[in-house]
């Protein structure tokens, strides 16, 4: 019983560690610099220019 719980704990730990590393990579790569621009690009693609 403990072996299975330990394995599940390790899997969850490494998955969360991977999530933290992906987040840190995104922050250091500048993925969160301009959060407003994609919203405006999508809006401009949907709305005609005359509005």
How far CA 38 is from CA of 11, 17, 27, 32, 42, in Å, comes to 34, 28, 17, 11, 6
pTM of this structure: 0.62
pLDDT tens digits for range 2-23: 678 989 999 999 999 999 999 9
Buried b (16+ CB within 10 A) or exposed e, 5-39: eeeeeeeeeeeeeeeeeeeeeeeeeeeeeeeeeee
**Encoded tokens for 29:** 């790569």
Top pLDDT among 40 and 25 is at 25
Domain range annotation of the chain = 20-51
- Burial (CB < 10 A; 0-12, 13-18, 19+), residue 3, is exposed
């Amino acid at each position: 019983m403990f072996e299975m719980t330990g394995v599940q704990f390790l899997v969850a730990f490494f998955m969360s560690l991977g999530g933290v590393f992906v987040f840190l990579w995104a922050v250091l790569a500048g993925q969160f610099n301009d959060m407003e621009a994609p919203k405006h690009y999508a809006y401009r693609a949907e709305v005609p220019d005359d509005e």
